[in-house]
Amino acid sequence: MSLLAGALAGCAGPGQERHLAPLISELSTAGGEREMEALGGAVVVRRKVENGAVTYWALRPLASHARSSPERSESSFLPPFGSVVLTPRESIYQLLPLARYSRQYYPDAPDTWTFFGLPGFYWSKTNDGRIVRALVPIGGVVEHFLSYDRMVFVLMPLFIRYERNGRETTHFLFPFFSWSRPIESDDPERAENGGGNDWRVWPLVGVNSWEGRYRRWFFLWPFFHWQSNDLDRPDGNQDKRWMVWPLIGGHKRGATTSWMALWPFFGYSANSQNGFWAWDGPWPLVTIQRAGDTGQASRTRVWPFYSHFDGDGMTSTHVLWPIFNKRREVYGDVVKDTTLVLPFYQAWNKQGPEGPSSWRKVFPFFSRYKSEADDESSFAFPDPSPFTWRLDFVDEHYAWMWELYSQRRTGERLRERSWLGLWRREKGEGEDRRSIVGLWARRDYVDEGVPTIEQSVLFGLLRWRSGPEGVTLLKPAFPGPGWPLKRTGRTAQ
């Protein structure tokens, strides 16, 4: 009866912590924010303590919204497919792969915007105020899309005309008939980059040429091909190729000669001056490449049993691909050593001027990350995610469902959480708070230079403060622990 009377007389107030997981909890985070968590972590709301403004909310795994600054917000729904990013310069709305809308804002010019949507909608406003539309394959106009400057089509593939790199190409009954020509322009750079005239009557014959660069022919495609490339170089250094597909083909450029047979299964290349040579056969099972004096990569592959690569700053060895891989990467002052035994073990160590960092994952049991350069670390148990690296959208929206224990540290801030939020630790902003729901909670801080410890048991019905001057009983704060949501002081060491 005395405990019941204490509970009725001493409930936690609106400015105090309540830890009643998995139903609902309201705690102070390591960053000093006020966090409400409900239904074992499915619902999360974070607010600023000083004014109650919401900085983050989530209904996991369906949706979340975060405001990282007064001018930037990010929202996710059905992650990673749906997202909304709002900034002063641009707004982006997307639900991949169905639709994407973006709008750009300029201080001294009209806004521009673009919409893509399946099964083939395109709608855009350009920076000169024009509206262009397209409905694939019916018809429309598209500008500055992928590598095309402009594209016009009607009943695709009946008629297509596009501009790219100063050249206009027209297709009729694609891919059967096409012709290209340089675009007439007052811009000398654009006119110079237009190349030559091309045409194609596929599969009978076709020619593709660019004056001073290349000239390429085919006859009865795909059987007969020949090319001359790098036409701006001396004749001995030009690139010459031919093929009678799939039987045989040849390639010569300077001292390099290449042959292929039954493409793509067998091929050989060698340079008589620098000692480079390479063999494919049968591709992709066997590949041998030796760099000679070129400084290029060396490679040996007998797939899937063994492969070794050495070049471009990386040395890598695979055994029983993709199960075992050991590699070293050297890029400037950064050295990274990686060992993979998929899917069970993943590890890498990185050394750089800013300090070392490391990653370990023993699938599906745990993962650990530590970085002195970024002054942060993390640990998760278990970690059944199939990815070889922690992904933010997985950690934020899905990991709470399977992690029995997780730890995140950034600088002096430390956050620990058990499954359903039954255990929480939030260290930072001058305090260290730990809590096991209903059973025990502890708060460490420094009050006016004096190290102080406050503890709570039995859902906040029994609470006390201890310090150099002794022990003082505190007012009950059901359901506990009843610490103030606003943090004060300096962390007790």
* Cα distances (Å, whole numbers) of residue 131 to 111, 114, 156, 163, 235: 12, 10, 21, 18, 49
The 10s digit of each residue's pLDDT in 84-124 is 999 999 999 999 999 999 999 999 888 999 999 998 899 99
Please determine, for residue 271, whether its predicted confidence score (pLDDT) is greater than 50. Answer: yes
Please determine, for residue 6, whether its predicted confidence score (pLDDT) is greater than 70. Answer: no
- pLDDT value at position 184? 74
∠ CA 34-39-42 to the nearest 5 degrees?
A: 75
In the chain, % of residues over pLDDT 70: 95
- For the segment 140-161, the average pLDDT, to the nearest whole number, is 90
Reported as a pLDDT band with limits 50, 70 and 90, residue 387 is confident
- pLDDT value at position 492? 44
Query: Cβ contacts of residue 364 below 8 Å, gap of 6+?
Result: 382, 383, 384
Please determine, for residue 454, whether its predicted confidence score (pLDDT) is greater than 60. Answer: yes
Reported as a pLDDT band with limits 50, 70 and 90, residue 185 is low
- pLDDT value at position 186? 63
The 10s digit of each residue's pLDDT in 25-42 is 999 999 999 999 999 999
Residue with tokens 């949501």: 485
Please determine, for residue 251, whether its predicted confidence score (pLDDT) is greater than 60. Answer: yes
289 lies in some domain = yes
Bridge partners, 51 (sequence order): none
Reported as a pLDDT band with limits 50, 70 and 90, residue 8 is low
∠ CA 346-351-352 to the nearest 5 degrees?
A: 140
- pLDDT value at position 336? 97
According to DSSP, residue 11 is labeled: B
- pLDDT value at position 373? 87
Please tell me the distance from the alpha carbon of residue 283 to that of residue 217, in angstroms, as a whole number.
26
Please tell me the distance from the alpha carbon of residue 407 to that of residue 387, in angstroms, as a whole number.
19
Note whether 111 and 104 are within 8 A (CB).
yes
Average pLDDT, rounded, for the chain? 91
- pLDDT value at position 493? 40
DSSP string, 218-284: EETTTTEEEEEE-TTS-GGGSEEEEEETTTEEEEEETTEEEEEETTTTEEEEEETTT--EEEESSTT
Please determine, for residue 17, whether its predicted confidence score (pLDDT) is greater than 90. Answer: yes
322 lies in some domain = yes
Count of domains forming the chain: 1
295 lies in some domain = yes
The 10s digit of each residue's pLDDT in 342-357 is 999 999 999 999 999 9
- pLDDT value at position 144? 83
Which comes out higher in pLDDT, residue 365 or 109?
365
138 lies in some domain = no
The 10s digit of each residue's pLDDT in 303-315 is 999 999 999 999 9
263 lies in some domain = yes
Please determine, for residue 488, whether its predicted confidence score (pLDDT) is greater than 90. Answer: no
- pLDDT value at position 469? 83
- pLDDT value at position 316? 98
Residue with tokens 């640990």: 379
- pLDDT value at position 270? 96
- For the segment 404-421, the average pLDDT, to the nearest whole number, is 96
Please determine, for residue 193, whether its predicted confidence score (pLDDT) is greater than 70. Answer: no
The 10s digit of each residue's pLDDT in 432-447 is 999 999 999 999 999 8
DSSP string, 43-95: EEEEE-TTT--EEEEEETTTEEEEEEETTEEEEEETTTTEEEEE-SSEEEEEE
Please determine, for residue 45, whether its predicted confidence score (pLDDT) is greater than 60. Answer: yes
Question: Which domain range does residue 259 map to?
Answer: 255-326
Please tell me the distance from the alpha carbon of residue 302 to that of residue 318, in angstroms, as a whole number.
10
- pLDDT value at position 7? 47
Please tell me the distance from the alpha carbon of residue 460 to that of residue 443, in angstroms, as a whole number.
13
- pLDDT value at position 174? 94
- Return the H-helix or E-strand segment holding 302: strand 298-302
259 lies in some domain = yes
Please tell me the distance from the alpha carbon of residue 464 to that of residue 456, in angstroms, as a whole number.
7
In the chain, % of residues over pLDDT 90: 75
Amino acid letter for position 94: Q
Reported as a pLDDT band with limits 50, 70 and 90, residue 9 is low
Please determine, for residue 3, whether its predicted confidence score (pLDDT) is greater than 50. Answer: no
Please determine, for residue 152, whether its predicted confidence score (pLDDT) is greater than 50. Answer: yes
- pLDDT value at position 1? 46
Please determine, for residue 194, whether its predicted confidence score (pLDDT) is greater than 90. Answer: no
Mean pLDDT comparison of 9-13, 232-236, 337-341, highest-scoring range: 337-341
Query: Cβ contacts of residue 294 below 8 Å, gap of 6+?
Result: 271, 274, 275, 276
Dihedral over alpha carbons 194, 197, 201, 205 (to 10 degrees):
-110
- pLDDT value at position 191? 53
Reported as a pLDDT band with limits 50, 70 and 90, residue 489 is low
